[in-house]
Amino acid sequence: MTGTPVGDVDLTVVTPVGSRRADPLPLLVAHDGPEYSRRAHLVSTLRAAIESGRIPPTRVALLEPGARNQRYAANPDWADALTGHVLPAIRAAYASAGRPTVMGASLGALASLQAEWRHPGTFGALFLQSGSFFRKRVDDEEDFEFWNRVTAFVTGVRRARKRRTDARIVMTCNVDEGNLTNNRQMAQALSASGHDVVLHELPGRHDWRHWEAAFDPFLLTLLQGSVHLNRRAGEAHGADA
């Protein structure tokens, strides 16, 4: 895809076996999609869940990160590219049922939250794993090249006094990693401003193996309810199903 605010964006859309482009199906958008598929077996997990009837047939858009730090580290241009260019292109090519779900790990979780924060109502649900919600005096990441951009965005979210989005937000974080404290604080801040958010603290570290372990039940449960959530959202916003 060309012509976005961050340049070319590469992605792959994986569709359930037997489905057609004209079939309106829920959509899951995954930051770091190829890594999620290769290292955390996202596509195979979803395929098995669809075949067993645990979740409805669901398409997944696997986003190539490109210049990952530049794009995902609270870059408003990436949020605009995703919501204003990538999603419309996907929806032009594939019929969609309601609002999509977006997911990401580490900086991908940060990018997922920012996209919905800047463009509320785009997504029906967010699945945020070990988000890099860096804060001054909490995280020892000052040498990170986009530290100021990330901390400014996180501060803005924390200062919100009312709900910004009606999307359901499910967070997971592993207890043996550096982002645990800032994830706890982000969940608390989102809850205090009226958001539908839950944080699950799980064993493990900041890696793909432990993010995969959180798919069942937390991602699958979120996707189980995506059809009902999207139907209610569509009725509320007058959106097409």
Examine the pLDDT at 238 and tell me if it is beyond 60.
no
Contact yes or no for 57/50 (Cβ under 8 A): yes
Q: Return all residues near 66 (Cβ < 8 A) that are at least 6 apart.
A: 6, 7, 8, 9, 10
Give the tokens for residue 219: 């991602």
Mean pLDDT of the chain: 93
Examine the pLDDT at 49 and tell me if it is beyond 70.
yes
Summarize the confidence of residues 126-133 as an average pLDDT: 98
Give the tokens for residue 69: 């730090």
Lowest mean pLDDT among 64-73, 139-148, 197-206: 139-148
Contact yes or no for 26/56 (Cβ under 8 A): yes
Contact yes or no for 94/15 (Cβ under 8 A): yes
Q: How far is the C-alpha of 193 from the C-alpha of 196, rounded, in Å?
A: 9
Q: Return all residues near 192 (Cβ < 8 A) that are at least 6 apart.
A: none
Share of the chain above pLDDT 90, in %: 89
pLDDT per residue as tens digits for the range 21-37? 999 999 999 999 999 99
* Residue 23: alpha-carbon gap to chain centroid: 23
Contact yes or no for 200/218 (Cβ under 8 A): yes
Q: In the chain, what are the domains?
A: 11-237 (3.40.50.1820)
Angle CA(126)–CA(128)–CA(134) in degrees, nearest 5? 125
- pLDDT computed for residue 233 by the predictor: 38
Give the tokens for residue 16: 């359930």
Q: How far is the C-alpha of 211 from the C-alpha of 224, rounded, in Å?
A: 19
pLDDT per residue as tens digits for the range 207-236? 999 999 999 999 999 999 754 444 443 333
